Structure 1
Amino acid sequence: MNQNTCVIAGGGPAGAVLALLLARAGVQVTLLEKHADFLRDFRGDTIHPSTLQVLKEIGLAEEFLRIPHHKARRMTMHTDEGAVPIADLSKLGGEYPYIAFVPQWDFLNLVTTAAARYPTFRLVMNAEVHDVIREGDAVRGVRYRDPDGEHELRATLTVAADGRRSDVRRAAGLVPVEHAAPMDVAWFRLPREPADPDETFLRLSMGRIMVVINRGTYWQLAYVIPKGGFDALRAGGIEALREPVARLLPFLKDRAGLLKDFDEVSVLSVALNRLRRWHRPGLLVIGDAAHAMSPIFGVGINLAVQDAVAAANLLAEPLASGAEIPESLLAGVQRRRTPPTVVTQFAQRVVQARLIRPALAGRVKPVRLPRNLSHLPVIGALTRRFIGFGVLPEHVRSPS
């Protein structure tokens, strides 16, 4: 049985960034990741200006920008009547007036490689956390499995950053409050050609919604379907997916046939939920484990990173000093991060109710929009600020 100051379950954006920030502060930290590597199609690969600013503050921005990526400076919705500009991020100002699309595995490799430069950091792959160690009401570490068998890892602080289906959260008896989502998402790829459009955009039509993401050499496509509707889509055969591609995206009509079968398609079951309480004595929950976000606005990664920064700002020095972490300090992390989570989820629920649900129901005009939202003096500024930085952007104040 090993002893650590902090053990983090889950090597996603929240867990990896928190591990790096704690290691920088001299905290003995172990990051447990259940997979053998980060090479998976995460789909959510948007790095917003708020996260780019965090990377700058810890000296990783230049290294990040050397990774091949696509910069999106404008957010546009294409309807049957024409294009509706939503947000012009180029007007944000600052060094990063864009969203960077980069494979999430590259981002995670960057962060964990930086963390490995510190002697107090340890990364354990193939480590599936399945339970917590309890002492009375307190959590004192985790139990995990790897190819060598079962292990226990004791820690002063345990952090659950293991995603929307968090086993640590379940083991601790924490249950999120669910907010209904009207849709799921079928993800797939098609090749991109030089003459194709350059932008990333939303395509909205009667009964059809498609998110179109420029990934350089290919298009990553998200076909939005009614909640629980993937089996019905599959029952219609692969033509049920080729047809909306050809109709919504005429420039891809000649490539829709390259989609051979549903083995090339993955489905995201959209969830929108939030814990009432993010902590127990000795335990903190952050990221998707604390609040599963809808894919609307693509802000999930960035909220997770902001959670990690806020947690490190409050906890790094007490952990480095070897002090016992009072639950009131863990509650402080929740108090800090609950308002931006609530506001963002409220905005997502409004879009789901006013735009997504009516569109999936086949209404021709699900919502009346101005011709150019991005040019409206107040709404345009608020929209790009909300998408780029969120409600409460965090800045790194933990020691190095």
Structure 2
Amino acid sequence: LCSARAVGFHMMSSRSGLATAPESHRNPIVHRYTTVLTQPLRRDCEATGLVEEDGRVRGVQLAEGGTVRAQLTIAADGRQSVLGRDSALPLIDLGAPMDVFWFRIPKLAEPKADTLGVFAARRVIVFIDRGDYYQCAFVFTKGTADSIREMGIETFRERVRSAAPDMAAGVDAIRSWDDVKLLTVAIDRLQRWSRPGLLVIGDAAHAMSPMGGVGINLAVQDAVAAANILAGPMAAGVDPDPLLGKVQERRMPPTRRTQGMQVFMQNSVVAPLLKPGATLDKAPLAARALDAIPLLRRIPGRIVGLGFRPEHIRSPEA
């Protein structure tokens, strides 16, 4: 068993304000800001397809029946994007050798770091400190979820305990497979993010690996860039269609770089550990280098925390 420090958030510039928070904490913040919207907001309203007329997207179809029509539809419905698939935009699949079981265990002792990675032969587990609990990612060879489940939940708990003895006391909180969620890992991106009347952003445009937890960061940055480019002109009555490509122009380079980093890490660190017969006498070279040279940890710290192209709100207030 090996563990290593890989990310140095504490070594970033003091001007770079950085905080980590569970996604569940985001919802109350979003809800607070929706109270000042000048347009109606429909919550818990599922879109099931696009409305198209004369070669242009005019809105979305709703699961409950009816449609919502708009001058511009922005598809931000995640990695299993219904609207992205319905758009027929071409997709590049970069591949991923693993899938992930997500679960949480209570934090019964103070952690040594915000994020702990454990590397073992055929086992890679990441524990992310979420305050009073750990968000855990159990990484395994793609397509083997059913065979792991067939071993039983107690066998799974024991695999977690043996890989991370320091966390063993909290593992009993995994009561059944209902507490363990499957994340089918994909790294892909649309070759084109838009067509007349439609813009696709976030995971819907570029599914990210969970490595680094950067998917939500890129999605928010996409949204900020889209607002900066589109909000002012649309408020002035300008047709948004000619501007949609500018969003992809700005956001595709950081997307490619981030996915390139993830593909390198999964192929050089994760994939070798998941192979049948894999052995591990020491942490992978990349992890050992980051562990040994503190200055190097600033690089992934900046990439994970800020991204290759941070965005700042420059759009006019609504």
Above 0.5 in TM-score?
Answer: yes
Are the aligned partners of 2:119 and 2:283 in contact in 1 as well (CA < 8 Å)? Answer: no
**1:105 correspondence with 2:24:** yes
Which deviates more, 244-253 or 267-276?
244-253
Distance in 2 separating the partners of 1:377 and 1:266: 34
Q: 1:132 to 1:89 in 2, by over 3 A?
A: same
Question: Which residue of structure 1 lines up, in the alignment, with residue 304 of structure 2?
Answer: 387
Tell me by how many angstroms 1:229 deviates.
1.1
Q: Is the 8 A contact 1:209 1:223 kept in 2?
A: yes
Look up the equivalent residue of 1:363 and give its one-letter code: T
CA distance in 2, matches of 1:245, 1:182: 20
Structure 1 unaligned runs (5+)? 1-78
Identity percentage of aligned residues:
39
Q: Check conservation: 2:234, 2:240, Cα contact below 8 A.
A: yes
1:127 to 17, 30, 45: 45
Of residues 319, 333, 337, the one that matches 2:247 is: 333
Could you tell me which runs of 5 or more consecutive residues in structure 2 were left unpaired when the two chains were aligned. Answer: none
1:114 to 24, 33, 42: 33
Distance 2:170 2:245 in 1: 52
What does residue range 1-400 of structure 1 map to in structure 2 within 5 Å?
A: 79-80=1-2, 83-102=3-22, 104-120=23-39, 122-146=40-64, 150-194=65-109, 197=112, 199-326=114-241, 328-361=242-275, 362-364=278-280, 365=282, 367-369=284-286, 371=288, 373=290, 376=293, 379-400=296-317
Does the 8 A contact of 2:95 with 2:186 survive in 1?
yes
1:10-41 deviations in whole A, cap 9, x for unaligned? xxxxxxxxxxxxxxxxxxxxxxxxxxxxxxxx
> How far apart, in 2, do the equivalents of 1:372 and 1:276 lie?
34
Distance 1:99 1:209, change over 3 A: farther
2: CA distance between counterparts of 1:195 and 1:115? 36
> In structure 2, what is the Cα distance between the partners aligned to 1:274 and 1:370?
27
Q: 1:163 to 1:258 in 2, by over 3 A?
A: closer
Report SS of the residue matched to 1:112.
helix
SS state of the match for residue 308, structure 1? helix
Q: Which amino acid aligns with 1:88?
A: G
Separation of aligned partners in 2, 1:370 and 1:199: 16
Alpha-carbon distance in 2 for matches of 1:284, 1:341: 16
CA contact (8 A) 2:34 2:41 kept: no
Task: In structure 2, give the amino acid aligned to 1:243.
Answer: E
Deviation, structure 1 residue 275: 0.1
Instruction: Name the stretch that deviates more: 315-324 or 92-101.
Output: 92-101
**Distance in 1 separating the partners of 2:83 and 2:123:** 37
| Cα distance change of structure 1 residues 227 and 370 upon mapping to structure 2, 3 Å threshold | closer
Q: Is the 8 A contact 2:4 2:118 kept in 1?
A: no
**CA contact 1:84–1:372 (8 Å) conserved in 2:** no
Secondary structure in 2 aligned to 1:168?
A: helix
* AA matched with 2:133: Y
Aligned-partner SS, 2:220: helix
d(CA) in 2 for partners of 1:349 and 1:297? Answer: 12
Go from structure 1 to structure 2 and tell me whether the alpha carbon gap of 1:259 and 1:153 turns closer, same or farther (over 3 Å shift).
Answer: closer
CA contact (8 A) 1:88 1:374 kept: no
* Partners of 2:286 and 2:77 in 1: CA distance: 38
Quote the offset at 1:302 in angstroms.
0.3
Q: 1:259 to 1:375 in 2, by over 3 A?
A: closer
| RMSD of aligned residue pairs (Cα, Å) | 2.1
